[in-house]
Amino acid sequence: MSKEMIVMADGPDSKDKRKELLLSALESGMTTVVVRPDDSDFKSLGNVKLLFNKNGVISEKMKLVQLNTPKDQDEAMSLAGKYEVIILGASDWTIIPLENMIAKFRGTGTKIYACASNPDDAKVYLQTLEKGVDGIAVTVKTGNEIRKFADLVSSTKKIELTPLEVVSVKNIEMGDRVCVDTVSMMSPGEGMLIGSQASCLFLIQSESEESGYVASRPFRVNAGAVHAYTLDREGKTRYLSEYRSGDPVLLVDSEGNSRISSIGRCKIEKRPMVLLEATDGKNTYSTILQNAETVRLSGPGGSISVSKIKKGDKVFARLESGGRHFGMKIDGSVREV
């Protein structure tokens, strides 16, 4: 699940300083900002969602709670289920164990955000008890400090990739292929997770390498057929045919590092297709790709073009057990062939 980030820009008494914080937030990719009630004119500064802090109640759905003693923790826990979001501020989390708060709020319908003044603390809060808090409230004094959070905004957890051995590659009929153009430049080895079964998503590299036919297009992933699954930032699967301009998209590199970008456009065109099958030694998985020299799969030895891949070659994929229902992971036996 992706995490939410908001900026607490209501602190400085100077309106100019609050404005500086908001502008820095927008430059860093954070579009939800807490301000004072008389800052409504900040809306004209950009496409930003303003939340107004009135004595600790933020736009009626959020509550800011300062934790300084164990008694404060008890009072905060009593708010579970009464607000959509509880924002927890503490000068010393060793006094108020964050694990207690996360465990208490789980399943109550109330999200829990933790205030953080630096990215390192934010990373810890996002990973506490594995699940972590639902969001981070950035509490800093200057715009330069906000910009340090920029990488954290688009980062996601690491994804485990497994090398599979190619079993076969064969031509099939023409099909509708989805080409995904993102708003980000990708490096060799980086692309999207695509597959015909949710249990196995192959790492399809971007067109980041030169070929003898066309110039490199490192923003593009020639992803696969319209029916194929891809993994989104929420950890759900989506069909490639569902993507539209502006949708967030998950990018993954050959080390399993992932980040979020956005789709600039998708192109669906009829192209000659190939069926690729690979195995982990127990099960055989497949994906369908365009039969083109520019389509490459990432593997332990680098990327391999679909036009040159052969039996015995190794490619990376993300494997999972169980099944999917409307894109959400479920426990149970689901067989996709």
Q: Do residues 66 and 189 share a domain?
A: no
Give me the pLDDT at residue 326, please.
43
Give me the pLDDT at residue 324, please.
42
Q: Do residues 142 and 192 share a domain?
A: no
- Using CA atoms, how far residue 5 sits from 23, 53, 63, 114, in Å, is 15, 16, 15, 10
Q: Do residues 149 and 174 share a domain?
A: no
At 150, the pLDDT band (50, 70, 90 cuts) reads confident
Q: Do residues 40 and 180 share a domain?
A: no
- How many domains does the chain contain in total? 2
In angstroms, how far apart are the furthest CA atoms of the chain?
69
**Distance, CA of 195 to CA of 206 (rounded, Å):** 15
Q: Is residue 256 a part of any domain in this protein?
A: yes
Spatial CA neighbour of 93 closest among 111, 77, 116:
116
- List the domain range (segments joined by +) for residue 204: 162-330
Q: For residues 190 and 155, which has the higher predicted lDDT (pLDDT)?
A: 190
Q: Do residues 143 and 182 share a domain?
A: no
H helices then E strands: how many in the chain?
A: 6, 22
Q: Is residue 336 a part of any domain in this protein?
A: no
Q: Is the pLDDT of residue 331 over 60?
A: no
Q: Which residues contact 264 (CB under 8 A, 6 or more apart)?
A: 181, 182, 183, 219, 245
Q: Is residue 335 a part of any domain in this protein?
A: no
Give me the pLDDT at residue 180, please.
97
Q: Are strands 229-231 and 191-197 parallel, antiparallel or unpaired?
A: antiparallel
User: What residue has token string 């036919």?
Assistant: 213
Give me the pLDDT at residue 325, please.
41
Give me the pLDDT at residue 192, please.
97
Q: Is the pLDDT of residue 234 over 90?
A: no
Beta-bridged to residue 217, according to DSSP, are 207
Q: Is the pLDDT of residue 37 over 70?
A: yes
Average pLDDT rounded to a whole number, residues 76-103: 84
Token readout for 182 is 């993102």
Q: Do residues 176 and 306 share a domain?
A: yes
Give me the pLDDT at residue 329, please.
46
At 95, the pLDDT band (50, 70, 90 cuts) reads low
Q: Is the pLDDT of residue 253 over 60?
A: yes
Q: Do residues 16 and 125 share a domain?
A: yes
Q: Which pLDDT tens digit goes with each residue over 267-306?
A: 999 999 999 999 999 999 999 999 999 999 999 999 999 9
Contact 125, 136 (CB under 8 A): yes
Q: Do residues 145 and 194 share a domain?
A: no
Q: What pTM did the predictor assign?
A: 0.64
Give me the pLDDT at residue 210, please.
81
Q: Is the pLDDT of residue 1 over 50?
A: no
Q: Taking each helix axis as running N to C, give the angle between helix 70-77 and helix 98-105, from 0 to 180 degrees, rounded to the nearest 10.
A: 10
- Give me the amino acid identity at 130: E
Q: For residues 178 and 127, which has the higher predicted lDDT (pLDDT)?
A: 178
The phi, psi pair for 318, rounded to 5°, reads: -100, 120
Q: Do residues 125 and 178 share a domain?
A: no
Q: For residues 77 and 235, which has the higher predicted lDDT (pLDDT)?
A: 77
Q: Do residues 147 and 175 share a domain?
A: no
Token readout for 260 is 């979020």
Q: Is the pLDDT of residue 93 over 50?
A: yes
Give me the pLDDT at residue 124, please.
84
Q: Which of these three, 119, 154, 189, is where a domain ends?
A: 154
Q: Do residues 311 and 274 share a domain?
A: yes
Spatial CA neighbour of 108 closest among 72, 75, 79, 145:
79
Token readout for 44 is 């004209």
Q: Which residues contact 125 (CB under 8 A, 6 or more apart)?
A: 98, 114, 116, 132, 133, 136
CATH number of the domain residue 64 falls in: 3.20.20.70
Q: Is residue 127 a part of any domain in this protein?
A: yes
CB atoms within 10 A of CB 97: 13
Q: Which pLDDT tens digit goes with each residue over 104-130?
A: 888 899 999 999 999 888 888 887 756
Give me the pLDDT at residue 281, please.
95
